[in-house]
Chains A and B, each alone.
Chain A
Amino acid sequence: MSQNLYQAGVTLLNAMSRHADVIMQVYLSGTLDETATTPQVIDNLKKLGIIWRPEPDAELRLKSTVRNLLENSLHDERNRQIDANIGSALASLKTLAGHYKEALHHGRFTESQGHINDLREHVYSLTDSLGNNVRVLFSRINNEFGYVASIDAKIRENELAQSQVSELLTQIELFRFDELSETAGSNRELRLLLVVTLQQAFSRVTQELSIVQARLLELLGRFREFRGRTRLLKGFVLHQEQHPDFHPPDYSSLSNVPMLFNQANKLMGAAHADVNSIAHETDLQALVGRIKALQRTNTPREERKAGKINVAQQSQAPQVENLLKKAVEDYFCQVIDSGERLTALEFWQQQELDCDPEVWIYRVIDGYQSLPEEEQLYFALDTNGHPHPVYTGNFIVEDVELGLR
């Protein structure tokens, strides 16, 4: 017998693995597209009880056991079913315990072994389904019923979950540990299964369920808040559409202004620098250092305008440079020839040079400093000028005087 059962099971599982894609397709879409597969396959699956036709004209669907298997193993969040039939499970446990004790009493040990194995199977499947139910609830809470879009649908889902929790709790109340422990009597195996294992599962599940319940209530509160807010927004827009001239009365003119409309205006202005504070000295110095000296030229705007650049004239620039360089050389030669001191501006006036006097003085200084060191020793360059009237330590150079040493 058990060999036959084994063979049949293997055939079933093999068929399932062979037609895995068909089964998954039915699982996801709900019904089987009969044109997509051959009639033999459909017949085979129907014979094995994997798919069935609920009504003569209806389409083929997955058997609920197969669907449950998939939902549980895939942790599919669409699984909303809670199997809460604990009463009948407990009754069958008691019956099996009775069989076991009777077999033991009559000394039929092999038979009793079979009964205890059955019993173990039932106890474990009961604890497993309890844990599964809680897990299903949790997975739905954790993504905040993300599988439905609207808030109203979420609220409905939440209400369903709450009713399932309370159903589960009433079912769990059917656990009577005094009765179970009486049934188990002094038998060690039975006590372990009926009292210890079940009690552990029981306490774990009740604890988790109370957490689930609290989370569900919290979520429901939040969803209701969201719904209230959405309605407030929509209602306001609607009201404005129907009464376009609606203006809320000025609540700030009431004798008792609601706090909501009492907002003090801003009071803070910028603080000023305290130049006498030693603690701020470095900061202030850094600030002063960053002030830029503005050098505004008084040249009229007309001349500063962007104009057309005459490329042909560019070659003149080096010529001017050369002229100035030549003039500097002449100036040095004249000083050497005459042996007398001569200021740069005097030479500039003598020769009626065609350049800005300031540029000229810079060129002279430049010419002096670009001489080799031993040649520089022959000349002496003095600066004429006056100290700055306001900022001491600054000297304004007006002219330079060149002479021989």
Chain B
Amino acid sequence: MMTEQGRVLEQLLSGTFICQVSDEDGWRYLKNSSQAERMEQQLNILNRTLTHCADGEVFYAAYLTLGEQERKVLGNQFQETAAGLLPLVEWLLLVQQASGNDMPLTQGQAIRLPELQTQIEDTPAFKEQLQKIARYRLFNSTSMEVDGQLKQLFKKLTEIGYLLRPNPEKQIYLATGKVDYLFEVLRFIDETESLSLSEQAEQAAMQGSLL
């Protein structure tokens, strides 16, 4: 039998994000500082270090020291992340608007696919938005139907770890901590590039209400 420590170590070395939704036991294990310390020592041997983001909600392994090889990996990774930002952001907005409660998706929140589908099918604006999102290279859907586009989107999002499908027989998806990671990335870009995204949105909203 493998110990919890071994299991969590394996998860981290496989490049998985550990959060309360995806792996509650592992997440609790890493929340304990002495256990995290032990994990850190083992990761250090392999030039990795335990990292967390989103206020300790998400754990993953990062490189301890960066050499030529590591930088190349990170460079590729960043290109992927940057290319995926807009499709993901638009998808998040679509889900938020279509579910009608005006709440952004957060870790642990459930999305009921059939409900979302009816909402989108009944609203032409959402349908257009979905079509646009599905055509991004990240999702790469060729389907013309809402059903096919949504299925492709959710399949891809489950693959890259933003969603989790706890019961394969039900069309209910849970958002994982990676969604929080995405927000963190956005916030970082916003701050570093001083884009003041929030202010832009607020101004646009005010202008919209004036019109």
Contact = CB atoms under 8 A, between A and B. Distances in A.
Interface string B1-45: 000000000100111000000000000000000000000000000
Interface in B90-148: 90, 92-93, 96, 100-104, 106
Given A232-B187, A232-B197, A263-B60, A248 B14 contact: no
B75 A260 contact: no
Contacts of A44: none
B164 interface: no
B62 A264 contact: yes
Contacts of B160: none
B93 A264 contact: no
A236 B13 contact: no
A233 B104 CA distance: 9
Contacts of A252: 71, 74-75, 77-78
A151 B103 contact: yes
Contacts of A266: 13-15
Contacts of A226: 102-104
Given A149-B102, A237-B89, A253-B71, A263 B200 contact: no
B51 interface: yes
Contact of A237 (B71, B93, B187, B188): B93
A228 B198 contact: yes
Nearest to A251: B78
Given A226-B104, A263-B62, A235 B15 contact: no
Contacts of A81: none
B190 A232 contact: yes
Contacts of B70: 264
B186 interface: yes
Given A230-B104, A233-B104, A235-B200, A267 B75 contact: no
Contacts of B78: 250-252, 261
Given A250-B78, A261-B77, A235 B201 contact: yes
A253 B68 CA distance: 11
Contact of A235 (B13, B79, B100, B199): B199
Contacts of B200: 235, 238-239
Nearest to A261: B78
B195 A239 contact: yes
A238 B62 contact: no
Given A236-B85, A247-B82, A262 B90 contact: no
A262 B198 contact: no
Q: Which of A240, A259, A260, A264 has the most CB atoms of chain B within a 10 A radius of its CB?
A: A264
Contact of A263 (B15, B101, B184, B197): B15
Interface string B62-90: 11001000110111011101100110011
B199 A262 contact: no
Interface residues of B, number: 58
Nearest to B200: A235
Given A232-B186, A234-B204, A237-B90, A264 B197 contact: no
B198 A232 contact: yes
Contact of B14 (A236, A250, A267): A267
B100 A149 contact: yes
Interface in B156-211: 181, 183-190, 192-193, 195-202, 204-205
Interface string A206-247: 000000000000000000001011111111111110000001
A72 B190 CA distance: 48
Contacts of B187: 232
Nearest to B12: A264
B206 to A, nearest CB: 12
A206 B110 CA distance: 37
Contacts of A230: 96, 102, 104, 201
Interface in A139-166: 149-151
Interface in A39-65: none
Contacts of B201: 230-232, 234-235, 238
A240 B106 CA distance: 23
Contact of A232 (B15, B66, B100, B183): B183
A236 B186 contact: yes
A393 interface: no
Contacts of A234: 93, 197, 201, 204-205
A350 B62 CA distance: 81
Contacts of B75: 250, 252-253
Interface string A261-279: 1111111100000000000
Interface of B: 10, 13-15, 46-48, 51, 53, 60-63, 66, 70-71, 73-75, 77-79, 81-82, 85-86, 89-90, 92-93, 96, 100-104, 106, 181, 183-190, 192-193, 195-202, 204-205
Given A235-B196, A260-B181, 5 more contacts: A231-B201, A248-B189, A249-B193, A260-B184, A268-B13
3 smallest A-B Cβ distances: which pairs?
A: A235-B197, A252-B74, A266-B15
27 contacts: A151-B102, A228-B198, A229-B104, A229-B106, A230-B104, A231-B197, A231-B198, A231-B202, A232-B186, A233-B96, A235-B200, A237-B89, A237-B93, A239-B197, A247-B82, A248-B193, A250-B79, A252-B77, A259-B53, A260-B184, A261-B74, A261-B78, A264-B73, A267-B13, A267-B46, A267-B48, A268-B10
